[in-house]
Protein backbone atom coordinates (compact mmCIF):
# COMPACT_ATOMS: atom_id res chain seq x y z
CA UNK A 1 0.00 0.00 0.00
CA UNK A 2 1.27 3.48 -0.88
CA UNK A 3 2.34 5.44 2.24
CA UNK A 4 -0.21 8.06 3.28
CA UNK A 5 2.51 10.75 3.23
CA UNK A 6 2.83 10.31 -0.54
CA UNK A 7 -0.39 12.21 -0.99
CA UNK A 8 2.16 15.07 -1.00
CA UNK A 9 4.40 13.69 -3.77
CA UNK A 10 6.86 15.43 -6.06
CA UNK A 11 4.22 15.24 -8.81
CA UNK A 12 1.69 17.05 -6.59
CA UNK A 13 4.24 19.79 -5.85
CA UNK A 14 5.16 20.14 -9.52
CA UNK A 15 1.50 20.43 -10.49
CA UNK A 16 0.96 23.08 -7.78
CA UNK A 17 3.87 24.97 -9.30
CA UNK A 18 2.31 24.70 -12.76
CA UNK A 19 -1.03 26.10 -11.60
CA UNK A 20 0.54 28.91 -9.55
CA UNK A 21 2.63 29.85 -12.58
CA UNK A 22 -0.52 29.79 -14.69
CA UNK A 23 -2.15 32.21 -12.26
CA UNK A 24 0.91 34.47 -11.97
CA UNK A 25 3.39 34.60 -14.84
CA UNK A 26 6.19 35.79 -12.52
CA UNK A 27 5.91 32.86 -10.13
CA UNK A 28 9.37 31.26 -9.64
CA UNK A 29 8.19 27.70 -10.21
CA UNK A 30 11.60 26.03 -10.18
CA UNK A 31 12.55 27.58 -6.85
CA UNK A 32 9.20 26.67 -5.34
CA UNK A 33 9.40 23.03 -6.46
CA UNK A 34 12.98 22.70 -5.21
CA UNK A 35 12.18 24.18 -1.79
CA UNK A 36 8.86 22.35 -1.35
CA UNK A 37 10.33 18.95 -2.28
CA UNK A 38 13.64 19.22 -0.39
CA UNK A 39 14.40 15.85 1.30
CA UNK A 40 10.78 14.90 0.74
CA UNK A 41 11.31 11.19 1.43
CA UNK A 42 12.49 11.99 4.97
CA UNK A 43 9.30 13.87 5.87
CA UNK A 44 5.93 12.63 7.11
CA UNK A 45 2.63 13.98 5.80
CA UNK A 46 2.23 16.99 8.11
CA UNK A 47 5.91 17.88 7.73
CA UNK A 48 5.53 17.83 3.96
CA UNK A 49 2.51 20.11 4.17
CA UNK A 50 4.44 22.52 6.40
CA UNK A 51 7.39 22.57 3.98
CA UNK A 52 5.12 23.28 1.01
CA UNK A 53 3.49 26.11 2.97
CA UNK A 54 6.88 27.61 3.84
CA UNK A 55 7.83 27.49 0.14
CA UNK A 56 4.64 29.40 -0.66
CA UNK A 57 5.63 32.08 1.87
CA UNK A 58 9.04 32.35 0.20
CA UNK A 59 7.94 32.50 -3.42
CA UNK A 60 4.51 34.19 -3.45
CA UNK A 61 4.25 38.00 -3.15
CA UNK A 62 4.72 39.34 0.39
CA UNK A 63 1.56 41.41 0.00
CA UNK A 64 -1.38 39.10 0.68
CA UNK A 65 -3.61 41.41 -1.34
CA UNK A 66 -1.56 40.25 -4.34
CA UNK A 67 -1.03 36.66 -3.26
CA UNK A 68 -4.68 35.96 -2.45
CA UNK A 69 -6.02 36.43 -5.99
CA UNK A 70 -3.18 34.26 -7.34
CA UNK A 71 -4.28 31.43 -5.07
CA UNK A 72 -7.91 31.92 -6.06
CA UNK A 73 -7.02 31.71 -9.75
CA UNK A 74 -4.92 28.58 -9.24
CA UNK A 75 -7.83 26.50 -7.89
CA UNK A 76 -9.50 23.70 -9.83
CA UNK A 77 -13.05 24.26 -11.03
CA UNK A 78 -15.54 23.94 -8.18
CA UNK A 79 -17.41 21.15 -9.96
CA UNK A 80 -14.31 19.00 -10.50
CA UNK A 81 -14.95 15.63 -8.87
CA UNK A 82 -12.07 13.42 -7.69
CA UNK A 83 -12.71 9.69 -7.86
CA UNK A 84 -9.70 8.85 -5.68
CA UNK A 85 -7.78 10.72 -2.99
CA UNK A 86 -4.65 10.75 -5.12
CA UNK A 87 -6.37 12.10 -8.27
CA UNK A 88 -4.81 15.27 -9.67
CA UNK A 89 -6.44 17.89 -11.86
CA UNK A 90 -4.82 19.48 -14.88
CA UNK A 91 -7.21 22.44 -14.59
CA UNK A 92 -6.20 23.64 -11.12
CA UNK A 93 -5.25 22.78 -7.55
CA UNK A 94 -7.54 20.48 -5.58
CA UNK A 95 -7.39 17.66 -3.04
CA UNK A 96 -4.62 17.34 -0.47
CA UNK A 97 -2.61 20.13 -2.11
CA UNK A 98 -5.19 22.51 -0.63
CA UNK A 99 -4.06 21.69 2.93
CA UNK A 100 -0.83 23.78 2.94
CA UNK A 101 -2.63 26.52 1.03
CA UNK A 102 -5.22 26.96 3.79
CA UNK A 103 -2.46 27.14 6.40
CA UNK A 104 -0.75 29.79 4.29
CA UNK A 105 -3.98 31.78 4.08
CA UNK A 106 -4.60 31.43 7.81
CA UNK A 107 -1.14 32.69 8.71
CA UNK A 108 -0.68 35.38 6.07
CA UNK A 109 -4.21 36.60 5.57
CA UNK A 110 -5.11 38.00 9.00
CA UNK A 111 -4.60 41.62 7.87
CA UNK A 112 -6.87 40.95 4.87
CA UNK A 113 -9.52 39.07 6.80
CA UNK A 114 -12.39 39.26 4.28
CA UNK A 115 -10.20 38.04 1.40
CA UNK A 116 -8.78 35.28 3.60
CA UNK A 117 -12.23 34.05 4.58
CA UNK A 118 -13.38 34.14 0.96
CA UNK A 119 -10.41 31.95 0.08
CA UNK A 120 -11.18 29.56 2.92
CA UNK A 121 -14.72 29.14 1.62
CA UNK A 122 -13.50 28.42 -1.90
CA UNK A 123 -10.72 26.08 -0.80
CA UNK A 124 -12.96 24.02 1.47
CA UNK A 125 -15.12 23.18 -1.56
CA UNK A 126 -12.09 21.44 -3.05
CA UNK A 127 -10.72 19.69 0.06
CA UNK A 128 -11.22 21.22 3.51
CA UNK A 129 -10.16 24.43 5.25
CA UNK A 130 -10.82 23.08 8.76
CA UNK A 131 -7.13 23.25 9.75
CA UNK A 132 -6.02 26.57 8.26
CA UNK A 133 -9.10 28.55 9.23
CA UNK A 134 -8.30 28.09 12.90
CA UNK A 135 -5.54 30.69 12.61
CA UNK A 136 -8.16 33.24 11.58
CA UNK A 137 -10.54 32.16 14.34
CA UNK A 138 -7.82 32.60 16.94
CA UNK A 139 -6.87 36.01 15.56
CA UNK A 140 -10.41 37.31 14.99
CA UNK A 141 -12.94 35.21 16.93
CA UNK A 142 -15.81 37.71 16.84
CA UNK A 143 -15.43 38.50 13.13
CA UNK A 144 -15.14 34.79 12.37
CA UNK A 145 -18.39 34.02 14.18
CA UNK A 146 -20.13 36.78 12.22
CA UNK A 147 -19.00 35.17 8.96
CA UNK A 148 -20.10 31.75 10.16
CA UNK A 149 -23.58 33.07 10.88
CA UNK A 150 -23.87 33.68 7.12
CA UNK A 151 -22.16 30.45 6.10
CA UNK A 152 -24.70 28.23 7.90
CA UNK A 153 -27.05 29.17 5.05
CA UNK A 154 -24.52 28.71 2.24
CA UNK A 155 -25.80 26.50 -0.61
CA UNK A 156 -22.57 24.46 -0.58
CA UNK A 157 -22.50 21.69 2.04
CA UNK A 158 -18.71 21.91 2.35
CA UNK A 159 -18.95 25.54 3.45
CA UNK A 160 -21.70 24.73 5.95
CA UNK A 161 -19.65 21.85 7.32
CA UNK A 162 -16.64 24.17 7.71
CA UNK A 163 -18.67 26.20 10.21
CA UNK A 164 -18.96 23.19 12.49
CA UNK A 165 -15.69 21.41 11.74
CA UNK A 166 -13.52 24.53 11.72
CA UNK A 167 -14.76 25.57 15.17
CA UNK A 168 -14.43 22.13 16.78
CA UNK A 169 -12.49 22.81 19.98
CA UNK A 170 -10.53 19.54 19.89
CA UNK A 171 -10.31 18.74 16.19
CA UNK A 172 -7.80 15.90 15.63
CA UNK A 173 -4.58 16.93 13.85
CA UNK A 174 -5.38 20.59 14.46
CA UNK A 175 -4.64 23.37 16.92
CA UNK A 176 -7.01 23.37 19.86
CA UNK A 177 -9.34 26.35 20.17
CA UNK A 178 -8.79 26.95 23.88
CA UNK A 179 -11.32 29.78 24.04
CA UNK A 180 -14.08 27.46 22.84
CA UNK A 181 -12.81 24.67 25.10
CA UNK A 182 -13.27 26.99 28.06
CA UNK A 183 -16.60 28.38 26.85
CA UNK A 184 -18.34 26.70 23.88
CA UNK A 185 -21.54 28.74 24.22
CA UNK A 186 -20.69 31.22 21.41
CA UNK A 187 -20.65 28.34 18.91
CA UNK A 188 -23.86 26.64 20.05
CA UNK A 189 -26.19 28.85 17.92
CA UNK A 190 -24.22 27.74 14.83
CA UNK A 191 -24.65 24.07 15.72
CA UNK A 192 -28.32 24.75 16.43
CA UNK A 193 -28.71 26.14 12.91
CA UNK A 194 -27.04 23.07 11.38
CA UNK A 195 -28.58 20.26 13.44
CA UNK A 196 -31.23 19.46 10.80
CA UNK A 197 -29.07 20.17 7.77
CA UNK A 198 -30.04 18.29 4.62
CA UNK A 199 -26.51 16.88 4.38
CA UNK A 200 -25.48 13.94 6.56
CA UNK A 201 -21.91 15.14 6.00
CA UNK A 202 -22.79 18.34 7.85
CA UNK A 203 -24.86 16.65 10.57
CA UNK A 204 -22.00 14.23 11.26
CA UNK A 205 -19.70 17.19 11.85
CA UNK A 206 -22.21 18.73 14.26
CA UNK A 207 -22.29 15.45 16.20
CA UNK A 208 -18.49 15.30 16.32
CA UNK A 209 -18.35 18.90 17.49
CA UNK A 210 -20.76 18.20 20.35
CA UNK A 211 -18.73 15.14 21.26
CA UNK A 212 -15.68 17.40 21.56
CA UNK A 213 -17.60 19.72 23.86
CA UNK A 214 -18.79 16.77 25.95
CA UNK A 215 -15.20 16.01 26.98
CA UNK A 216 -15.05 19.31 28.90
CA UNK A 217 -18.71 20.21 29.49
CA UNK A 218 -20.70 16.96 29.79
CA UNK A 219 -23.69 18.54 31.52
CA UNK A 220 -23.98 21.24 28.85
CA UNK A 221 -24.18 18.60 26.12
CA UNK A 222 -26.81 16.77 28.15
CA UNK A 223 -28.92 19.96 28.18
CA UNK A 224 -28.47 20.37 24.42
CA UNK A 225 -29.37 16.73 23.81
CA UNK A 226 -32.52 17.03 25.92
CA UNK A 227 -33.60 20.17 24.05
CA UNK A 228 -32.93 18.64 20.64
CA UNK A 229 -34.90 15.50 21.50
CA UNK A 230 -37.95 17.31 22.88
CA UNK A 231 -41.22 16.65 21.07
CA UNK A 232 -41.49 14.93 17.69
CA UNK A 233 -38.06 14.77 16.11
CA UNK A 234 -36.70 13.09 13.00
CA UNK A 235 -34.76 9.84 12.95
CA UNK A 236 -31.80 11.81 11.55
CA UNK A 237 -31.74 14.11 14.56
CA UNK A 238 -31.98 11.20 16.97
CA UNK A 239 -29.00 9.59 15.28
CA UNK A 240 -27.06 12.86 15.45
CA UNK A 241 -27.70 13.26 19.17
CA UNK A 242 -26.75 9.67 19.97
CA UNK A 243 -23.52 9.98 17.99
CA UNK A 244 -22.81 13.31 19.70
CA UNK A 245 -23.19 11.66 23.09
CA UNK A 246 -21.04 8.61 22.35
CA UNK A 247 -18.26 9.60 24.77
CA UNK A 248 -20.80 10.35 27.51
CA UNK A 249 -22.50 7.00 26.85
CA UNK A 250 -19.15 5.22 26.98
CA UNK A 251 -18.34 6.98 30.25
CA UNK A 252 -21.69 5.98 31.73
CA UNK A 253 -22.80 9.61 32.20
CA UNK A 254 -26.16 8.97 33.86
CA UNK A 255 -27.90 12.29 33.05
CA UNK A 256 -27.17 11.74 29.34
CA UNK A 257 -28.23 8.12 29.41
CA UNK A 258 -31.49 9.15 31.06
CA UNK A 259 -32.15 11.77 28.35
CA UNK A 260 -31.54 9.12 25.69
CA UNK A 261 -34.02 6.76 27.37
CA UNK A 262 -31.54 4.40 29.03
CA UNK A 263 -32.37 3.77 32.69
CA UNK A 264 -30.65 1.62 35.29
CA UNK A 265 -30.96 -1.92 33.88
CA UNK A 266 -33.50 -4.21 35.48
CA UNK A 267 -31.74 -7.53 35.11
CA UNK A 268 -30.97 -10.50 37.34
CA UNK A 269 -27.51 -10.84 38.78
CA UNK A 270 -25.25 -12.95 36.62
CA UNK A 271 -21.59 -13.81 36.34
CA UNK A 272 -19.51 -13.25 33.25
CA UNK A 273 -18.08 -16.54 31.99
CA UNK A 274 -14.52 -16.02 30.79
CA UNK A 275 -13.90 -18.91 28.40
CA UNK A 276 -10.18 -18.11 28.04
CA UNK A 277 -8.89 -17.54 31.58
CA UNK A 278 -5.32 -17.42 30.22
CA UNK A 279 -4.75 -15.33 27.10
CA UNK A 280 -1.50 -15.10 25.16
CA UNK A 281 -0.66 -11.68 23.71
CA UNK A 282 -1.75 -11.79 20.09
CA UNK A 283 -4.64 -14.12 20.91
CA UNK A 284 -8.25 -13.56 21.96
CA UNK A 285 -10.17 -13.03 25.17
CA UNK A 286 -13.46 -14.92 24.83
CA UNK A 287 -16.36 -14.41 27.20
CA UNK A 288 -20.13 -14.75 27.50
CA UNK A 289 -22.87 -13.27 29.64
CA UNK A 290 -26.58 -13.93 30.05
CA UNK A 291 -29.07 -11.08 30.27
CA UNK A 292 -32.24 -11.91 32.20
CA UNK A 293 -34.93 -9.26 32.50
CA UNK A 294 -36.66 -8.84 35.87
CA UNK A 295 -39.51 -6.66 34.62
CA UNK A 296 -42.47 -7.17 32.28
CA UNK A 297 -41.70 -4.19 30.05
CA UNK A 298 -39.05 -4.23 27.35
CA UNK A 299 -35.99 -2.11 28.06
CA UNK A 300 -33.37 -0.53 25.79
CA UNK A 301 -29.83 -1.49 26.76
CA UNK A 302 -26.41 -0.20 25.77
CA UNK A 303 -23.91 -2.98 26.47
CA UNK A 304 -20.22 -2.18 26.69
CA UNK A 305 -17.29 -3.86 28.31
CA UNK A 306 -14.06 -2.63 29.84
CA UNK A 307 -10.71 -4.38 29.84
CA UNK A 308 -8.64 -3.33 32.85
CA UNK A 309 -5.07 -3.58 31.60
CA UNK A 310 -2.08 -4.20 33.82
CA UNK A 311 0.32 -1.25 34.10
CA UNK A 312 4.06 -1.28 34.79
CA UNK A 313 3.47 -0.43 38.47
CA UNK A 314 1.02 -3.30 38.96
CA UNK A 315 -2.17 -1.21 38.98
CA UNK A 316 -4.98 -1.61 36.48
CA UNK A 317 -6.31 0.96 34.00
CA UNK A 318 -9.63 0.52 32.16
CA UNK A 319 -10.32 0.85 28.45
CA UNK A 320 -14.02 0.79 27.49
CA UNK A 321 -15.10 -0.91 24.25
CA UNK A 322 -18.46 -0.68 22.51
CA UNK A 323 -20.33 -3.97 22.29
CA UNK A 324 -23.96 -3.72 21.24
CA UNK A 325 -27.26 -1.89 21.65
CA UNK A 326 -30.46 -3.90 21.93
CA UNK A 327 -34.01 -4.06 23.23
CA UNK A 328 -34.43 -6.74 25.90
CA UNK A 329 -37.95 -8.11 25.95
CA UNK A 330 -39.78 -8.25 29.27
CA UNK A 331 -39.11 -11.30 31.48
CA UNK A 332 -36.82 -12.80 28.86
CA UNK A 333 -33.25 -14.08 28.79
CA UNK A 334 -30.63 -13.46 26.13
CA UNK A 335 -27.15 -15.01 26.00
CA UNK A 336 -24.47 -12.81 24.43
CA UNK A 337 -20.83 -13.56 23.72
CA UNK A 338 -17.74 -11.72 22.55
CA UNK A 339 -14.28 -12.42 21.17
CA UNK A 340 -11.87 -9.57 21.99
CA UNK A 341 -8.49 -9.33 20.30
CA UNK A 342 -5.49 -8.89 22.59
CA UNK A 343 -3.11 -8.07 19.74
CA UNK A 344 -0.35 -5.51 20.10
CA UNK A 345 -1.24 -1.92 19.18
CA UNK A 346 0.99 1.15 18.96
CA UNK A 347 -1.09 3.11 21.49
CA UNK A 348 -0.78 0.63 24.36
CA UNK A 349 2.00 -1.32 26.02
CA UNK A 350 0.98 -4.65 27.49
CA UNK A 351 2.30 -6.19 30.68
CA UNK A 352 1.91 -9.81 31.73
CA UNK A 353 -0.19 -10.63 34.75
CA UNK A 354 -3.74 -10.40 36.04
CA UNK A 355 -6.21 -8.37 34.00
CA UNK A 356 -9.88 -7.73 34.61
CA UNK A 357 -13.00 -7.74 32.47
CA UNK A 358 -16.01 -5.59 33.40
CA UNK A 359 -19.47 -5.72 31.82
CA UNK A 360 -21.23 -2.33 31.63
CA UNK A 361 -24.95 -1.97 30.88
CA UNK A 362 -26.43 1.52 30.54
CA UNK A 363 -23.29 2.81 32.21
CA UNK A 364 -23.65 0.50 35.21
CA UNK A 365 -21.10 -2.13 36.18
CA UNK A 366 -22.97 -5.45 36.36
CA UNK A 367 -20.27 -8.14 36.35
CA UNK A 368 -16.52 -8.59 36.80
CA UNK A 369 -14.12 -11.38 35.92
CA UNK A 370 -10.36 -11.84 35.93
CA UNK A 371 -7.99 -13.40 33.40
CA UNK A 372 -4.25 -13.76 33.00
CA UNK A 373 -2.27 -12.29 30.11
CA UNK A 374 0.87 -14.10 29.04
CA UNK A 375 3.57 -12.54 26.90
CA UNK A 376 5.80 -15.11 25.24
Q: Quote the mean pLDDT of the chain.
A: 96
Q: Residues 168-179: pLDDT tens digits?
A: 999 999 999 999
160 neighbors 148 (Cβ within 8 angstroms): no
pLDDT confidence of residue 86 = 57
pLDDT confidence of residue 3 = 87
| pLDDT at 126 > cutoff 70 | yes
Q: pLDDT-based confidence at 125, cuts 50/70/90?
A: very high
From the options 3.90.1210.10, 3.40.50.1820, 2.40.100.10, 2.60.40.10, give the CATH code of 273-374: 2.60.40.10
| pLDDT at 192 > cutoff 70 | yes
pLDDT confidence of residue 283 = 97
pLDDT confidence of residue 181 = 98
pLDDT confidence of residue 84 = 63
pLDDT confidence of residue 81 = 67
Of the candidates 22, 34, 58, 45, the residue with the CA atom closest to the CA atom of residue 97:
45
> Whole-angstrom Cα distance, residue 98 to residue 84?
15
213 neighbors 193 (Cβ within 8 angstroms): no
Q: pLDDT-based confidence at 83, cuts 50/70/90?
A: low
| For the chain, domain boundaries | 4-259, 273-374
Three-state secondary-structure class, residue 316: strand
Q: Residues 320-370: pLDDT tens digits?
A: 999 999 999 999 999 999 999 999 888 889 999 999 999 999 999 999 999
The single-letter DSSP state of residue 66 is: H
3-state per-residue secondary structure call for 77-135: CCCCCCCCCCCCCCCCECHHHHHHHHHHHHHHCHHHHHHHHHHHHHHHCCCCCCCCHHH
> Whole-angstrom Cα distance, residue 91 to residue 76?
5
Total-model pTM: 0.89
Q: Is 273-374 in the same CATH topology as 4-259?
A: no
| % pLDDT > 70, the chain | 98
CATH superfamily of 4-259: ARM repeat domains (1.25.40.290)
| pLDDT at 224 > cutoff 80 | yes
How many angstroms separate the first and last alpha carbons of the chain? 30
- What backbone torsions phi and psi does residue 43 show, to the nearest 5 degrees? -105, 145
| % pLDDT > 90, the chain | 93
Amino acid sequence: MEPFKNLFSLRVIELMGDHLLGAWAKFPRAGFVAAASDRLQDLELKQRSEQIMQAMITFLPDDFAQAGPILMQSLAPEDYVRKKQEDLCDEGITGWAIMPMTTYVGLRGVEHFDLAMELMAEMTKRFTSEFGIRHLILAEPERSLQVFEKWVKDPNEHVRRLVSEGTRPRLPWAMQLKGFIADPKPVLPLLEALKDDDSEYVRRSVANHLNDIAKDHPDLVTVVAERWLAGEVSLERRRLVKHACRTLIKNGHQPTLKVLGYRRPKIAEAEVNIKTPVVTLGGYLEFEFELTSTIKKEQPLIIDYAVHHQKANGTLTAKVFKWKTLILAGESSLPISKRHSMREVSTRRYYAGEHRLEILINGQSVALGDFQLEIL
